[in-house]
Amino acid sequence: MHFLSADLEAYITTHSEKEPDLLKELTRETHLKVLMPRMITGHFQGRVLSLIASLVHPNYILEIGTYTGYSALCLAEGLSPKGQLITLDKNDELSGIQKRYFDRSPYGNQITRLTGKALDVIPGIDKIFDLVFIDADKAEYPEYFEMVLPKVRKGGIILLDNVLWSGKVVEPVAQKDSTTQTLIDFNKKLSEDPRVRTVVLPIRDGLTLCMVK
Ligand code: SAH
Ligand code: CA
């Protein structure tokens, strides 16, 4: 989804940090070999994730929805030297490409990949996180959020991707489109949730930034 003109999008990307070569290669390989490549984080949003992670400088990051590992590699750039990133995905066919690119990056030994459904896997993760990136099944965002909130330290950050859902959150909802309705209700609830400070950033498909109070 592009909310800005193509010229402005290009200008913004040109005037932001360059995309690391390994991530360019991962994007190419994802487009060639993996289903639904439009799910991958792009150059600009990847740099935003990297800078946010660098500001937080986390010891522990949790990512829900690895796909081919692009966003994980961006977030890992901000890890403290001994920091760890745990990323999970239900699709085990992605393990090969994830592992290859993580191993080629400087963060291979700081990243743990878990395979399984988020709602099954998250309760078994016994860590306190400084940063969480939620990017798996949009219909399950409310459950992910409630599950991770007790695992995030005070002042920690929860990011949620695709919260504008191609702009559908401000359009009449199609009768059978329960995912959009879930996102509309969840975005509203989050904006009123006293446990977090919330801003919706109009970055790509919408990126919500929450700080835990
Ligand atoms: N964060 C990635 C993109 C994630 S795409 C990036 O920016 O590059 C969404 C991913 O969530 C897909 O790989 C899909 O397999 C995974 N996913 C969807 N539902 C899930 C679930 N219930 N549990 C775990 N992973 C899930
Ligand atoms: Ca996404």
> What pLDDT score does 4 carry?
83
Q: Is 81 exposed, middle or buried (0-12, 13-18, 19+ CB in 10 A)?
A: exposed
Give the atom of ligand 1 at the shortest distance from the alpha carbon of 45: 7
d(CA 193, CA 197): 8
> What pLDDT score does 146 carry?
98
The count of other CB atoms within 10 Å of the CB of residue 80 is 13
Mean pLDDT of 30-53: 96
> What pLDDT score does 86 carry?
99
Mean pLDDT of 172-195: 96
Residue 36 Cα to ligand 2 middle (Å): 12
Question: For a substitution probing ligand 1, which of 137, 162, 179 has the most ligand atoms within 8 Å of its CB?
Answer: 137
pLDDT tens digits, one per residue of 71-99? 999 999 999 999 999 999 999 999 999 99
pLDDT higher than threshold 90 for residue 3? no
Confidence band, pLDDT 50/70/90 cuts, at residue 27 = very high
pLDDT higher than threshold 90 for residue 2? no
Residue 74 Cα to ligand 2 middle (Å): 13
**Structure token pair of residue 183:** 């996102």
The count of other CB atoms within 10 Å of the CB of residue 130 is 23
Angle separating helix axes 95-104 and 21-33, nearest 10 degrees: 170
The pLDDT mean for the chain works out to 97
Strands (E) across the chain are located at: 60-64, 84-89, 111-115, 129-134, 152-161, 196-201, 207-212
Quick check: CB of 70 below 6 Å from ligand 1? yes
* pTM tops 0.75, yes or no: yes
Residue 62 Cα to ligand 2 middle (Å): 15
